[in-house]
Structure formats: C-alpha cells, structure tokens
Structure 1
C-alpha cells in the first residue's frame, strides 16, 4: 500500500505542491507555481530527474496544477507511475468547526465556504485548489488539513476576547490561531529530541518566518497562541504589525479619513519589518543592521522584544517550561534573533550557549548551555510532512 501523499497549498496567486512519503517524510518532488493570473507566471519544480525553473503563462489554478503534473512527467516522478494514496490540502481557517483533518466532500466544501468571512484572503484560494484537484484527481481521496485545528484545544479563557458576548455567539469572533500544522509538527519533534512523551512536555514554540507566531504547548496541546481571529495579531512579522492598540484604526478613520480596506492593507502588507525599514526580507535587514543602519537596528530590537514578551507571558501560563523551540526561516537560521530574544532570562533558567547557537547546522539541535534548566531547541519545521501524516491518518483510521 502506497504512503505517498500529494500535498497542495493553494494561495491567491500561487500553488505550492509536494509529493511526500507520509511515513518517512521524504519529499520525492516539490514545486511552486507563482503569479497565477498575471501576464507571466513562474514555475519551479525539483524532481529526481532534474529541476525546472522558468516562465510560463498561467491564467488560473487549474493551469497551475496541470503545469505541475507536466513537470512531474518531465522531471519525475511521473504521477502515472506513482501509486498516490491521497491528496492533502492545506486550508487556513477551519473556525471552531474543525479540530482535526477531514475527508473532502461537497458538504465539507460548503462548510469551508461558510468560513470565508473569517479568512477572505486565504480560504477562497484554498477552496479553488481543492476544486481543481478534485477535477484532475477524481479517483483519489482528498483531505483538508486546517491551520487552525491544532489550536482548538485552547481553553475558553484563552480564546475569548473581552468584547460583547454576542460577537462570539453570533459572529464567531474569538482567538483561533494559525501555523497549527507547523506547531503540531515541531512540538512532536521537540518531545522526541528531549526523549519524552509529548504528554509530559511543556513547550514555547516560536514559528518565525515572514509570518510569526508563538504557542504555549502543554502536554502536546496548544493552550495559548499569539495569532487571533486572523493572522494579524501577535508578534512583529515581515509585513504584519502584530499587536497594536485597536483604537489606532479608529484614529486613522477619524483624523485621516482612511477606509477600512486601506487600513487593513496597511496593517497586513505594509507594516511589520517592511513598515519599519522598507524591507521584509530578514536577510536584508541583517545586512543593513551590520552596516550600522539605525532603522534596521530599531526594527531588530522591536522584533526581538516582542518575542521576549511572549516568552515571558507563556512561561507564566505554563508554569513549567521544558524547552523553547525556534522554527521556520528566521527561527532556524538567525542565531542573532535567538540570542537577543532570550537575553537576560537566566533567572528563568534560560541560557543560550553562544558557540552552539552560532554553529552552522540544518538539523534539529539544542543551542542551550549544559546547565540551562530550560532547553533551547532549533527544529526545522516540515508542514508538508505533517499534512501528509494527517492525511494518511484520515484515510486509514
């Protein structure tokens, strides 16, 4: 019986895909189609028989998935020769309805469609990817894996906002959290690295990429997380503001006459590191910081300070912390962020070893000192493998 899962992550103008062995985690091929609907698209495919990297015309998501299938045929492995067990789809928002992955059928599509108001930028694209894949792979089971599902274990006191109760009851306004597949994967890997069962471990997981989130994990379950109703809340991110006084938006309307859409765009696309420096690429920020750029230095300090605040808050939430885990692009590769975010927390038992922290490595590892009572771990995330594993669990209960 095949363990291969075709993992699809459909964005508004992109389609990311990977053929993953759901048991071993090996990605035998992967690719990305970008700029869907623009005059000139771009595709990258990495397979066992080579790599393609070129421009092509991609009008819609169906064209993108067909281009991916063609790339599998040219650069391997041909999907005609692979016994694919299922197709796993990343879906950003499952609301409070979905605490686990679900087999896709027409009823599931209707329910996810009902949730579009909670994620108007993401769920429509996810649905488009599902519909296209169901047409092109009609004989395979399809499974929806929700970014919010891991956080459905949050207790009411953690997910409830102090707003009129009917906002939650009638409109579903509450904390949902995101990056769930990453937090689930990394917390499991962290427990294994520590040599303990996940049920016995308390963790603070820091997913630091272009989007950033922190999660308090008690015994393998999320009990608090920094992102909220939307992915805007919480840490400073590449283009998102993270936490801010909600009255700022009212101020912009009253004093500057800004529209809701303009404010929403500014907070999601022109804020964060980009708003502070003009750049949302952390590598460019580091280069500018090293060159003495004051704006880059301030942005770095704001970014790390926000992380430190959440570490302290979640330490208080958990009471006992076994490890702090860094993952995703910045978390895995920036020793400077790891050191600055945890600096001065020695009294909490958190000590980063400078040599271990700066040693080049792409594997899961500890970067804390031997006498640090709280381990500091760096663990590469693998959301595709997590989606593949959860997909197999649905079709093989």
Structure 2
C-alpha cells in the first residue's frame, strides 16, 4: 500500500499549528507562536500571509523535512460562506474566496497551502470548514421574513468524531443517526442523519447554549434594548462581544471551565449556577435534536475540550442518557481530521469537490 505524506496547516489568531502525517499516522505536530509585537506590524490578517508562510517553511527546513516529499497539503477551511461538506481542491476560485474579506485567521491556511502546493506541484485541500451547510430548509426558518438561521459550527471536528463514533457502533457514518455536541469556547449541537447534518445551532453568532465565550440564544427584546442603549459604539463591537467575550467570560472573567470548577470548589455559588446552566442548556439542545431525528438515535457524541471534565459529563448524562448511549470523544483532533480528508481523496475513496 502506498504511503502518502500530508502536511496540515491550521492557523489561529496568535499561532499556527502544523502537523505532518504519513497516511493517518502522526509524524510530528508543532505550534508556531506569533508574538503580538510581530503580528502588530501587519495592518490586516491577509497581510500576515508571507510572514506565516515563511515561519512554516523555516521550521520545516530546520526539522529536515524535504518539501519535495509531500503528496498534498491539507488546510483549515475558514469563513468562506455556506458550502456542502467534504474535501475541496483549492483551485483559483476557492483561493479567491479565501482571500476576500479575511476576518478569521483560519482563512490564511488555504491561502498559504495553495501557494506552497503550487510551488511544489501538488494538490492542496480544505475539509469541512466552519461554514459547512447541510441544514434542511425547514431548519432555517425563523419568524422574520428574510432572516434565516445560519450554519456556522465546528464542522471539521463534528464530522470527524461522528465517523469515529459510527465505527464504534459498527455502522457506516452514512447509515448512522447521531447527535454530536462539541463543547469548546463555543458550543455546537448537531443532528447527523445518515451522514448529513440536517440541523445545528450557529455556534458563532448567537444561537444555542450559553458557552464559555459566547452568548448563545438570548431573548430578542433584551438584545434590541442593548443595541439601542448606547453601551456599544457599533454593530461590529456588539457582534464581537456576543461571539468572543460573552458567556462564562462575561460573568466570571474566564473562559476556562477548569477555572470555573476551581471557583466552585472554593464555594462560589454563581460559578456553580452558571456551570450547571451551561450543562442544562446543552441538554435542552440535545433534546431538541432528538426530535429532529424523530427519536431514532444511535448515539450522542460529546467532544471538545470540556469533554475531558468527568464532572461536566456527569451533569450531561443525568439529563440525556435516556435519549441514547453517550459516547465521549474528548478534545479536538482537527489536524488528524484534515489529514484524513486529504487521504480519502488521495486513495480514491472520495472525490474532491471544487467551487
């Protein structure tokens, strides 16, 4: 069997994760840190492209990695608008979309990967970006004409752990009925119906459960009052608050659930109430997704960083284990998921999509 060498790239706001895989086996993983004083030299995220690309290439050279030995580069997808799930070849059209209105560092992955791959004459891919949209039309309806619910969530990790859970259940992902809960800085709860995520909350813009950094669903009247209160200087400022500084962060000054658990141990009743409220709201969303799947549930998959907390998992199980078996797959294996997406294409198991 042929071995494929796949480089994966996943930029964050102040770092860039890279990893090298031989097939789906990790050879090494590294987080390249970008000090604030270096990033501040660039006016926009897009301006950071050459800087980050050079950091990656320099590290690989220092590591003794021969770039000519790569078979593909697999990149985090970024915010590129609604597209079906799958692995996409980064062609000129996708490159242009990634390069337009770069408001999230993840867009840089495909820009860097496209140019590196072009120099090496190998393919570059993205797999399951956060704007994957498989929602059923009925799931997008709201009470206001012209306003639809949007699909923005942890698509890459949700799809990856759903495949693993299906395998544990001796099923093909395309035959399974699963509810997947990703609990990180944001929280997404998705209904996976035979390989399609037919409903999911918008984990970025204010929908679903209270989360460590995000507001979740809130009463519309109160939001209207806040918008006209003068507390926020612009729509963008308020959007950033809802998506980055709300949730546990706004109440307790931390987005780290371990810190919240320490506060609880020290007798902080507000921390205890908010911790339990987050679990309560996740469970309500799981219950809602159970109705989407008409009660035919093969399993409920819990993933993300918070899934390492046995205390939090216990709170969830108390309310949802009657719905279906709870399968815990903690953490985020995004780098492996990127490699696996590329590998399926390279091995001919899946056809790469294009824009």
Task: Settle same-fold status: TM greater than 0.5.
Answer: yes
**Quick one: which of 237, 246, 249 aligns to 2:223?**
249
Correspondence for 2:71: 85
Q: SS at the partner of 2:144?
A: coil
Equivalence for 2:338: 387
Cα shift at 1:126: 3.5
* Distance of 2:94 and 2:67 partners within structure 1: 30
Residue 34, structure 1, aligned to residue 33, structure 2? yes
1:129 alignment counterpart = 109
Conserved in 1, the CA contact under 8 Å of 2:162 and 2:180?
A: yes
Shift of 1:182: 0.8
Structure with more contact order per residue of length (Cα contacts < 8 Å, sep ≥ 6): 2
How far the C-alpha of 1:95 sits from its partner, in A, is 2.5
For 2:298 and 2:116, the matched residues in 1 are separated by: 46
Segments of structure 1 that go 5 or more residues without pairing to the other structure are 42-58, 168-172, 351-373
CA contact (8 A) 2:79 2:106 kept: no
Match of 1:353 in 2: none
Alignment partner, residue 378 of structure 1:
328
- In 2 relative to 1, CA 203–132 (structure 1 residues): closer, same or farther, beyond 3 Å? closer
1:131 & 1:244 partners in 2: Cα distance? 36
1:12–1:121 Cα contact (<8 Å) kept: no
Which residue of 2 is the match for residue 263 of structure 1?
A: 238
Corresponding position: 1:187 with 2:162? yes
1:233-281 Cα offsets, whole Å, 9 max, x none, are 2222221111112333321232335221231222122211111211111
* CA–CA distance in structure 2, aligned partners of residues 200 and 206 of structure 1: 19
1:134-153 deviation per Cα after TM superposition (whole angstroms, max 9, x unaligned): 4444122111223246x533
Cα distance, 1:82 vs structure 2: 6.8
Regions of 4+ moved over 4 Å: none
Q: 1:82-138: per-residue Cα shift (whole Å, max 9, x none)?
A: 721111111133423444322112222223445x4xxx632xx33433333444441
TM-score (norm 2): 0.85
Number of aligned residue pairs: give it.
Answer: 335
Whole-angstrom distance in 2 between the partners of 1:251 and 1:67: 46
Q: CA deviation at 1:156?
A: 0.4
- Match 2:303 to one of 302, 307, 327: 327
Deviation of 1:159 after TM superposition, in Å, equals 2.6
Kindly indicate whether the alpha-carbon contact (under 8 Å) linking 2:74 and 2:113 is maintained by their aligned counterparts in 1: no
Structure 1 residues 35 and 251: CA distance shift in structure 2, 3 A: farther
> 2: distance between equivalents of 1:3 and 1:178?
29
* Equivalent residues of 1:178, 1:231 under 8 A apart: no
Map 1:258-337; keep pairs closer than 5 Å: 258=232, 259-318=234-293, 319-331=295-307, 333-337=308-312
Distance 1:106 1:10, change over 3 A: same
| Aligned position for 1:341 | 316
d(CA) in 1 for partners of 2:167 and 2:196? 15
Change (3 A) 1:284 1:391: same
* Residues 20, 384 of structure 1: 8 Å contact kept: no
* Stretch moving more, 206-215 or 26-35: 26-35
Partner of 2:44: none
Aligned-residue offset at 1:3? 1.4
Residue 141 (structure 1) aligned to one of 113, 123, 128:
123
TM (norm. structure 1) is 0.76
Unaligned runs of 5+ in 2: 40-46
